[in-house]
Amino acid sequence: MSAVEIWTWSLVLLTFGIYIYIGYASRVGDTKGFYVAGQGVPALANGAATAADWMSAASFISMAGLISVLGFDGAIYLLGWTGGYVLLALLLAPYLRKFAKYTVPDFVGDRYYSSTARTIAAVAAVFISITYVAGQMRGVGVVFSRFLGMSIEVGVVVGMIIVAFFAVIGGMKGITWTQVAQYSVLIIAFLIPVIAISAQLTGNPIPQLALITSDLVPRLNQIQVELGFNEYTQPFANRSMIDVIAITIALMAGTAGLPHVIVRFYTVPNVRAARYSAGWALLFISLLYLSAPILAIFARTNLLESLNNKPIAEIQELSWVQSWSRTGLLAFEDKNGDGILQIRGPKATDGIANELTKLDNDIIVLSTPEVAQLAPFIIALMAAGGLAAALSTASGLLLVVSSSLAHDLYYRLINPRATEERRLLVGRIVIFGAVVVAGYFGINPPGFVAEVVAFAFGLAAASFFPIILLGIFDKRANSQGAIAGMLVGLIFTAVMILMMQSVRIFGTAEPLMGNFLGISAQGIGTIGMILNFVVTLIVSRMTAPPPAEIQELVESVRIPRGAGAASAHD
C-alpha cells in the first residue's frame, strides 16, 4: 500500500467516524427536529452548514476542472452559482423564513392554497433532488475508485451507506452538525493544495496575488495556442454568447430555487438569524469560490507541462498516471509510434494527432496535488475534502426527498392524523429508498458531476424560482397560475433535457434534439423559467384573485417591521 493510500484510508476513516458519531449524538425523536433541526441552529453554525450543503461535489471536484478545460467560458459556473446564492440570500430567504414552514412544498401549498400545487411542488422537489444527488454519488465513486482502490460502483455503495446512516438517525439536526464538520474538512482540503501549488509555481503563497503578479496566465495562453487550443482567456470560444448567458441565468435562478438550500433558512430561530446565517454562508462559500478559478489555471498549466512532449515510458511510470488510468478516467495512445505523448487541440495545424484520448473533467482537481508532486498527506486531504463535499450535499438532498414525500404528501395530504412516530418512520423509510435510487444514477450517471448538477439547477429554475418570487412579491398570483406555471416550466425543461441528452440517457445513436435557439441542455432551464413566469402571470390575471387572507399574508411577510423579534411561532 502506497503512502497516499495509507494517508487516505486514515483520513477517510477518521472523518467518517466523526460524521457517524455526530449523526448518532444528534439523533432526534420528533418531526420538527428531523426536518428543521428544532429551528434552534445558531447563525454561524447554520452558515457553515449552508456552505457545505451548497458546495457540493460539483463545486469541489468538478467546477475547477470545468474552468480548467473551458477557460473563460467555464466561469459560467462560478458566476451562476455564486450570483444565485446572493440572489437567494438577499431576495428570498428572509421572507421565506417569515412564513415559518418546514419545506418549499409547504410554502407553495399554503401560499397558493392548493393541494394540487403542493403535490406538484413535492414531485418537483423529489425530481430535482434525485437528479442533484446522482452527481454527488458519482463524485463519491470517483474519489473511492482512485484513492481507495475500489471500483466506482463499490465506492458509490459505501457512500450511500454512510449518508443514509446519519441522515436517517439524526435528520436535519444530525445533518446540520455533520455539515459543520464537513465544511471544515472540505475548505481546509481545498485551500492547502492551492496555497502549496501557488508557492511552487509562482513563489507567492497567496494564490489571488500570485495570479496578478506572475506571468502564469499569459504563459498558459501561449501554451494553449501552440498546442492548437483557443487561448485560455478567450471568451465564447467553447460556447456561444446566448448559451453562456442562458446557463448563467439558469444556475443563478436554480440556486435561488434549490429546496435543500432554502430549507436551511427554516432551521434558525428567527428572521434576523436567517439574515446573519446567509451572510456567514456567503463568506464561507467565497473562500472556495475565489480560489477555484486559480486552481483551474494551476491544474491546466501543470497537466500540459507534465504530459506534453514527454516520453510515454516515463509517463507510464508516474504513480498518479497509473492510478487514474486504472479508473478508466485517463487514457492515452501512441498513435504515431514515436514513444512521445503529444497533446493537440482542434486548431492544431502540424498534422499531429491528439494522443491524450481520455481526460475526465472530474479528475482534474483531484489529480492536481499529485501532478504537482505535493506531499502524500495533502493528496489524501484533497480526497477527504471531495468526499466531505459530496456527502454533505447528498444528505441535505435526501432529507428534501424525505420531507417532500413523508411530510408534504403523506402527512399533509394522505394521512393528516399520522402520529409523530409514524411520520418519522415514513420519513426514514423514504430516505432509504431515495439512497438506492440516487446510488443507481450515481453508478449510471447521465453526465459528469457538474453537468448532472447543472441539469438539477435548470429544473429548479424552471419550476420553483418563479413561483417563490411571485408568491412573495405578487399578491395577485393565484393557485391556478402557479399550477399551470410549474407544470409548463418543469415539463418543458425536463423533456428538452431528455431529448438533448438522449445519447447518454437512452443510448440513442444521435441526440433526439440539438440546441434550442442556440441554448444547450444546461441552459434550457432559463427558457423554462421564462415560460413559468409568463404562464403564471397570465393565468393568474385571467382567473379569480387569491382569497383576502392570502393577500394579507403576503403583505405581512413583506413588511420588515419586527423582523428581529420574529420567532418560530410567528
Do 406 and 430 form a contact (C-beta atoms < 8 A)? yes
Residue 518 φ then ψ, to 5°: 85, 5
Nearest to 219 by CA among 311, 293, 289, 300: 300
Highest mean pLDDT among 82-86, 336-340, 417-421, 449-453: 336-340
Query: Distance between CA 557 and CA 569 in Å, rounded?
Result: 14
Query: Distance between CA 140 and CA 525 in Å, rounded?
Result: 26
pLDDT at 58 over 80: no
Alpha-carbon 228 to chain mean position:
32
Residue 333 φ then ψ, to 5°: -145, 130
The pTM for the full model equals: 0.82
Do 172 and 45 form a contact (C-beta atoms < 8 A)? no
More confident residue, 534 or 139: 534
Task: Return the pLDDT at 506.
Answer: 72
pLDDT above 70 as % of the chain: 94
Instruction: Please report, for residues 144, 284, 304, 332, the alpha-carbon distance to residue 8 in angstroms, rounded to integers and kept in the order given.
Output: 10, 25, 26, 27
pLDDT above 90 as % of the chain: 29
More confident residue, 32 or 40: 40
More confident residue, 251 or 2: 251
Do 393 and 457 form a contact (C-beta atoms < 8 A)? no
231-236: Cβ within 8 A, 24+ apart = 231/71, 232/71, 232/72, 232/297, 232/300, 233/71, 233/72, 234/71, 234/72, 235/72, 235/73, 236/72, 236/73
pLDDT tens-digit profile of 466-498? 999 999 999 999 999 999 999 999 999 989 988
Rounded to an integer, the average pLDDT of 261-280 is 83
Query: Distance between CA 59 and CA 267 in Å, rounded?
Result: 23
Rounded to an integer, the average pLDDT of 439-452 is 65
Least confident of 75-84, 115-124, 432-441: 432-441
Task: Return the pLDDT at 419.
Answer: 85
Task: Return the pLDDT at 525.
Answer: 94
pLDDT tens-digit profile of 91-116? 887 787 777 666 788 889 999 999 99
Task: Return the pLDDT at 314.
Answer: 92
Least confident of 113-117, 303-307, 492-496, 560-564: 560-564
Least confident of 22-26, 383-387, 545-549: 22-26
Instruction: Please report, for residues 38, 223, 565, the alpha-carbon distance to residue 273 in angstroms, rounded to integers and kept in the order given.
Output: 14, 49, 10
Q: Where are the alpha helices (DSSP H) in 88-206?
A: 93-99, 104-111, 115-147, 152-202
pLDDT at 452 over 70: no
pLDDT tens-digit profile of 245-259? 999 999 899 888 877
Average pLDDT, the chain: 85
Give the contacts of 551 (CB within 8 A, at least 6 positions apart). Answer: 475, 545
Rounded to an integer, the average pLDDT of 403-421 is 84
Task: Return the pLDDT at 131.
Answer: 76
Nearest to 12 by CA among 342, 365, 381: 381
**What residues are paired with 516 via a beta bridge?**
519
State the cell numbers at 193. Answer: 493544495
Rounded to an integer, the average pLDDT of 38-64 is 83
pLDDT band of residue 26 (cuts 50, 70, 90) is confident
Q: Which CATH class is domain 3-300+374-559?
A: mainly alpha
Helix (H, G, I), strand (E, B) or coil at 69: helix
pLDDT band of residue 445 (cuts 50, 70, 90) is low
Residue 358 φ then ψ, to 5°: -150, 125
76 membership: H or E segment, kind and range = helix 75-87
State the cell numbers at 564. Answer: 428581529
Rounded to an integer, the average pLDDT of 223-249 is 91
Query: Distance between CA 19 and CA 178 in Å, rounded?
Result: 5
Which amino acid is it at 404?
S
Site of grid cell 449510471: 444
pLDDT at 558 over 80: no
Instruction: Please report, for residues 36, 56, 72, 398, 419, the alpha-carbon distance to residue 50 in angstroms, rounded to integers and kept in the order given.
Output: 13, 11, 28, 15, 30
State the cell numbers at 419. Answer: 402520529
pLDDT at 562 over 60: no
pLDDT band of residue 143 (cuts 50, 70, 90) is confident
Task: Return the pLDDT at 173.
Answer: 81
What angle do the packed helices 364-371 and 376-402 form, to 10 degrees? 170
pLDDT band of residue 563 (cuts 50, 70, 90) is very low
pLDDT tens-digit profile of 153-189? 888 888 788 777 767 776 778 788 888 998 999 999 9
Helix (H, G, I), strand (E, B) or coil at 135: helix
| Residues listed for the chain | 570
pLDDT tens-digit profile of 381-390? 888 888 888 8
pLDDT tens-digit profile of 497-523? 888 888 776 777 888 888 898 999 889
More confident residue, 561 or 436: 436
Task: Return the pLDDT at 329.
Answer: 81
Do 162 and 16 form a contact (C-beta atoms < 8 A)? yes
pLDDT at 548 over 90: yes
Query: Distance between CA 50 and CA 58 in Å, rounded?
Result: 15
